[in-house]
Structure 1
Amino acid sequence: MQHGKYRFIVGFLALPLIVYGIFVISPFVQAFQISMTDWSGLVGTARFIGLENFERLWNSDEFWNALRHNVYMLVGVPIVTLGLGLFFAFMLNVGGKRRKNEVITGVTGSKLYKFVFFFPQVISVTIIAVIWFNIYNPDPQDGMLNSLLGTVGLDGLQNSWLGEKSIALLCISAVMVWGHVGFYVVLFSAAMASIPRDIYEAALLDGASRFDTFFKITLPLLWDTVQTGWVYMGIIALDAFALVQIMSVNMGGPDGATDVMPLRLFQTAFRDSQFGYASAMGVAMLIVTMTFAVLTMRFARRERIEF
Structure 2
Amino acid sequence: MVTLADVKSSNALIPSTLPPGLVAVFVGATNGIGEVTLKKFAKQSRQPRVYLVGRSQDAADRIIAECRMLNSAGEYIYIKADVSLIRVVDEVCDSIKAKEKTINLLFLSAGLPVLDRSETSEHLHLLAALTFYSRFRFITNFLPLLQRASGLRRVVTVAGGGIEGKLDSTDFPALRIRFIAIRGHIATLITLGLESIARNAPEVSFVHDYPGTVSTALTKNMPGILGYIARASIYFFGRWICVPLEESGERHLYLATSARFPPASGDGDNSGVPLGDGFDVAQGTTGAGSGVYSVGWDCESASAAVQKLLAGYREKGLPEDIWRHTESEFKRITVPEARL
Per chain length, whose mean CA-contact separation is higher, i.e. which structure has more relative contact order (CA < 8 Å, sep 6+)? 1
Q: TM-score, normalised by structure 1?
A: 0.24
Higher fraction of helix: 1
Structure of larger gyration radius: 1
Q: TM-score, normalised by structure 2?
A: 0.22
